Amino acid sequence: MKFNVLALGSAITAANAAVLGERAAYAVVGKPEGFASGTTGGGSAACQVPSGTAQLKTWLSDSTARCIVLDKEFNFKGTEGTATETGCRPASNKCPGNGGQDAINHASWCTNGNAGAGSTSIQVTYDKAGVSGLTVGSNKSIIGVGSKGVLKGKGLRIANGAKNVIIQNIHITDLNPQYIWGGDAITLDGSDLVWVDHVKVSLIGRQMFVAGNGASNRVTLSNNEFDGKTSWSATCDGRHYWSIYLTGSSDLVTMKNNYIHHTSGRSPKIGGNTLLHFVNNYFYDLSGHAFDNDQGGKVVAEGNVFQNVKTPLLANKGQFFGSPSSSANSACSANLGHVCQLNAFGSSGTLGGSDTGFLSNFNGKSVASASAANAANIQNGAGVGKI
């Protein structure tokens, strides 16, 4: 059999060109609204696919501007071994062995009283990779291909001065979900300009998203799915309690078009010195509370949908404007640039919140637009594989 060398060469060249063309097409989609407006991530850096978990870890943490493409599942489970040690069965676990959540003794949580009266010591075995996030340096875009981009067994940590980071269209999952303190999906601590978009988070031991005590500065969370369905629930009802934690010392957080479902608390918890614009999000099937606004938290909640949410606002020790009426909502115009939108409720408790004295904090900042509450639009557009 004779081969046409020229034809074969042309075919190979065409195939290579197709692959290169496909890779050249990888790019961040859209731009962030709200406080993290202007975030560029890796900028014009050529998009590259890491060969495996080791190269991904290196690329994420180095000082080079990068566009990192996840085109498959990157599984970190087992890469750092397991640990067996003394943890606890907290007082909240009233269904041990039948869907409850035990705890790792991180930060002495089991021994400093936080586990509650009546907690007991037990042995816990967990995957060590899950309890610490992958370090992410400055000027990074981390993007997924379709719905293929998955981080399994390890989250992301943007801290210690890292800034200008985009995380888009990836799924973070399976971080020791059976244990409180089993791992956080995305952690910010001492960062700035972070945009998290079209990300799905599921089966997390601790927080789905945490902007902790350090300053996280300008952050936008948009079009994400926070999926709280779990077989290990701190509230023994198949719903995740530790969801979204916003207690930074100097944080400006925009949350827009996120779908938060099957959680039982802290969705979100706000405090520290956090200014939160919570606009056009959809809560569905929350057995406990959505907002818990602690001292220092300043929240505008507008255009959101609460469907089957037992307690939209657990407590308000800070300042909270819940867009209570058409007439009251005109107070937003001077500082947010628009009349705030009414929230919508179905089979849910009431929200409340009429504080307006803090609205001047929005003046001169990049503020996301708002539209009328619409659950279908939010749910259909949120999460991985939707861009």
Active site residues: 266
Locus of tokens 């200014």? 275
Task: Using alpha carbons, select from 212, 195, 66 the residue that is nearest to residue 133.
Answer: 212
What tokens were used for 43? 């900028």
The amino acid at 204: I
Q: Is 271 helix (H, G, I), strand (E, B) or coil?
A: coil
CA pair distance 208, 220, nearest whole angstrom: 15
CA pair distance 381, 259, nearest whole angstrom: 9
One-character DSSP codes across 116-185: -TT-EEEEEEEEGGGGSPEE--SSEEEEESTT--EEES--EEEETT-EEEEEES-EEEEE-TTEETS--S
Task: Using alpha carbons, select from 182, 360, 345, 169 the residue that is nearest to residue 275.
Answer: 360
Q: Is the torsion defined by CA of 213, 214, 215, 218 positive or negative? A: negative
